[in-house]
Structure 1
Amino acid sequence: MSAIFVSSFQWVDVQFLLLIISILEAAILGAVIAAVSPAVVVPKMIQLMEEGYGMNKQIPQIILAGASVDDVFVIVLFTSFTGLAQGDQISIMKFVNIPISIIAGILIGAVIGIALAIFFTKVHMRDTVKVIIILSLAFILVSLEEMITIPVTFAALISVMFMGIFLKRKKPDTSARLSAKFNKLWVMAEIILFVLVGASVDITFISKAGLKTVILIFAVLVFRMAGVFICMLGTKLNGRERLFCMLAYTPKATVQAAIGGVPLAMGLACGNIVLTVAVIAIVITAPLGAFMIEHTYKKLLSKTENNEMLSKNN
C-alpha cells in the first residue's frame, strides 16, 4: 500500500501546483486516479499464468493481489475525502477497517476454498456444476459485502481470490480444469467489461483537457512507478521483474469510470475537473499500460514450463 500513499500524495502535490485546486480537491482527484484497472490487469495476468511467465516467483499473483488491495484502499480514501468535502468528518474506523477487511477477506476465502476442496472430493459432479457453485459463492460474497452496514466488514474480492488460491492448493488437478472453464467464460466477460468501461466514458470531456492535464497524468505515473519500486525493495525479484511490476500498475480504467463522475453528481466544485482528468487518464493509460504489459512480459519475465509448475503445485 506504500505505492498508493506515494502516488496519492504526489497526485496532491502535482495537482495542487498544475490545476490550482485546493488540497482537499486534489486529494479527491488523487484517490480517483490512484487505483489500478482490473479490466486491464486481470486478463493480462491470467494470460501470463497460462503461458507460465513469472510463475517461478508468482509475479502475476502478486500483481493481482496488490491490485485488489489497492482498489479497496483507494475506495476508502475516496469515500473519506468526498465525505469531508461535504462537511462530514473522517472516521478513524474506516481506516482501521482496511487491514481488518483484508485479513477477514483472506480468512473467509481460505475457509470457503478448503470447504470446497473437501466438498468436491466427497461429492462427484461435472466441472460445469462446480463452476456454477464457485460463481454463485463469489456473487454471494460480493453481495454480502455491500449489505453489511457495520463499520467492520470484509473485502469480498480478496475473499474470492483466496477461495481460488486455497482450492488450487488442496485440489490442483480440479483447479486446473476449472481454470480452463473460467477462461472460456472470461472471453465473453472481457468483452462486456470493456464495453461497459467505454460506455461510462464521456469523450466530450477530452476536448476540455489541456496540456496541463496530460503532463499531470504522465508525471504522476512516474511517481506511481517509483512507489511500486519502493514496495519491491527487499524482495527476491530482480531488476527486470521489478520493472515489469512497475509497468503493470500503470493502467487506469474500471475504477476511474465507476467513480470519476461521483464528485460531479455530489455537486462538488471539483466535479468537472475530476471527471475530465479521469477520462483522460483512461484514454491514455489503459491502452498504454496494456501495450507495455503485452510487449514487455516475454522480455522481462522468465518462463516456467508446465511440468515445473505442476511439480511446484504438488
Structure 2
Amino acid sequence: MLLAGFALRNLPGINQHINVIPVVSACLRNTALTIILVRAGLGLDPEALKKLKGVCLRLSMGPCFSEACATAIISRFTLHFPWHWGFLLGFVLGAVSPAVVVPSMLMLQDKGFGIKKGIPTLLVAASSFDDILAITGFNAFLNITFSTGPVYQTLLKGLFEAIISVIIGVTMGLFCRYFPSKDQKARHWQRAGLILGLSILAVIGSNRLGFHGSGGLTAIMLTATSGSKWSKEKAKVENIVAKAWEIFQPLLFGLVGAEVSVQNLESDIIGTCVATLSMALLVRIMVTFFLVSFTDFSIKEKIFVALSWIPKATVQSHPSPVARQKSRQLVMAQSTAVLGPLALETTRSLNTPHLEAYAKTVMTMAFLGILITAPNGALLIGLLGPSILSKEEIVNDSSA
C-alpha cells in the first residue's frame, strides 16, 4: 500500500491524474491513524505493560534522543550543518511511525506471537510517547533556529501535553466503562461508536488546539482504560473496530506513500543523505538493543525489538505558536503540515532565503527516511516476528 501510494504520486502519465485535496488527505490520515490507535488501546495488556514499565519508558526516550544526537553529529561533517539545524533534522528523523509499528504489532499479537513477554504491548505503548518527544524536540530547535521564543516553554509544553493527555484519556475511559447503561440493546455497537468518536475528536481536536502529538496518547489511554472492564463485550467492540480498520488501512498507507515526491528530492545530495540516514539509524538500532538488554528477552527478541523500532512515516505537526503569528500562510496550511516540509515553509514565510538550502536538505532527508524505512521496517517485522517470537495460543474468552 505504501509503494502503491508512492507509485501513484510519482509515475509519469499517472501522477497528473491524481488529485488529492491536502485537507481531505490530512483528515483521512488522522482518522485512519486514530482507528489503529483505538485497536492498539483495546489490545494493550495491562499486566504486561505494568511489568515492562521501565523498559517502556526507556524505549520512549532513548532511541529518539540517541538518533537525534547522532544525526546532529554526523550531519555536521557530512552535510556541514550548523548544530541547531543538525538537531532539528535529528528530531525529524527520530520519530517512529505508529502507522507502521502499531498495525504490524497487532497483526503479530492477533496470531499469538510475543504476547507471553508483552513485546507487542511494549512497542505499541512506547510509540505514542516517542512521537510526543520528537515533536517537542523539533519545535524546540525550530524556535532556536528562527529565534522565535524561549526554548524552556516548548519543553514544558511537551511535558504538559503528555500529562494532560493521560489525564483526559483516563477520565474519558472511565466514562466509557459505564456508559451506555446495561439496559441498552446492541451496546457493543454503541461503545464502539463512542470510543471511535471520542478518539477522533481527541486527535483532530488536539491538533486544532495546538497540542500536537497528544491526541494519539489520549486515544490509547481512553480505549485501554475503558476496555479493561468490558468483559465479554470487549471482543465484540474489537471486531467492529477491526472492520473499520479494513476500510481505512489502504487510505492511511496509500496517502502516506503519496507524501513522498521524487521531484522534491535534491538529487545532488541524495547519496550523502542516505549515508547520513543509515549511520544515524545504525546508532538507533544499537541503542535500542542496549536499552532492552536489561530485560528477560532472549537475544533474538532483543534484535527483533531493535529492528522493529526503525520505521518512519509522516508525523503530523503544526507550526510553532510564534510561527503561526508571523505567517498567515502557515496558519492556512497547518492541518497538512508535516515535520519535514515545515522547516522549509517556515524559512520561506520568515523571508530567510540564506537558510533555504538547509531546509531543503531536511525535507529531502525526511522523505528518504519514509521511503527507505517504512516499507522495509514493515517487511522486517512481518518476516522476523513469526520466526523469532514465541507463539501462544489465543483463547477466545472474556479475557481475549
TM-score normalized by structure 2? 0.72
| 1:137 equivalent in structure 2 | 198
User: Could you tell me whether the CA contact under 8 Å between 1:35 and 1:252 is conserved in 2?
Assistant: yes
Alignment map for 1:250-269 (pairs within 5 Å): 250-255=310-315, 258-267=338-347, 268-269=355-356
Q: Which letter does structure 1 place at the counterpart of 2:376? A: L
Distance of 1:60 and 1:162 partners within structure 2: 16
| 1:163 equivalent in structure 2 | 222
User: Could you tell me whether the CA contact under 8 Å between 2:135 and 2:212 is conserved in 1?
Assistant: no
Summarize deviations over 1:189-238 as a string: whole Å, max 9, x none: 11111222123221124434432211111111111112222331322322
Distance of 1:303 and 1:113 partners within structure 2: 30
| 1:275 equivalent in structure 2 | 363
User: Could you tell me whether the CA contact under 8 Å between 1:131 and 1:181 is conserved in 2?
Assistant: yes
Q: 1:310 to 1:52 in 2, by over 3 A?
A: farther
Residue number among 243, 249, 262 corresponding to 1:203 in the alignment: 262
How far residue 178 of structure 1 moved from its aligned partner, in angstroms, is 1.2
Instruction: From the two aligned structures, give the one with the greater helix fraction.
Output: 1
Ranges in structure 1 where 5+ consecutive residues have no aligned partner: none
Specify the SS of the correspondent of 2:228: helix
How far residue 293 of structure 1 moved from its aligned partner, in angstroms, is 0.5
Q: Does 1:107 align with 2:161?
A: no
How far residue 153 of structure 1 moved from its aligned partner, in angstroms, is 9.5
Distance of 1:172 and 1:98 partners within structure 2: 35
Q: Does 1:306 align with 2:366?
A: no
| 1:182 equivalent in structure 2 | 241
Q: Does 1:240 align with 2:328?
A: no
Identity of aligned pairs, percent? 27
Distance of 2:172 and 2:121 partners within structure 1: 19
How far residue 295 of structure 1 moved from its aligned partner, in angstroms, is 0.5
User: Could you tell me whether the CA contact under 8 Å between 1:45 and 1:60 is conserved in 2?
Assistant: yes
Distance of 1:80 and 1:184 partners within structure 2: 39
Distance of 1:31 and 1:154 partners within structure 2: 14
Specify the SS of the correspondent of 1:124: coil
How far residue 4 of structure 1 moved from its aligned partner, in angstroms, is 1.3
Distance of 1:262 and 1:73 partners within structure 2: 17
| 1:231 equivalent in structure 2 | 291
Residue number among 264, 282, 285 corresponding to 1:222 in the alignment: 282
Q: 1:194 to 1:147 in 2, by over 3 A?
A: closer
Summarize deviations over 1:114-147 as a string: whole Å, max 9, x none: 3212224534242333222111111222244235
How far residue 165 of structure 1 moved from its aligned partner, in angstroms, is 1.3
Q: 1:143 to 1:263 in 2, by over 3 A?
A: same
Ranges in structure 2 where 5+ consecutive residues have no aligned partner: 1-60, 317-336, 348-354
User: Could you tell me whether the CA contact under 8 Å between 1:54 and 1:301 is conserved in 2?
Assistant: yes
Distance of 1:310 and 1:242 partners within structure 2: 30
Specify the SS of the correspondent of 1:210: helix
Specify the SS of the correspondent of 1:254: coil
Specify the SS of the correspondent of 2:232: helix
| 1:98 equivalent in structure 2 | 158
TM-score normalized by structure 1? 0.90
| 2:70 equivalent in structure 1 | 10
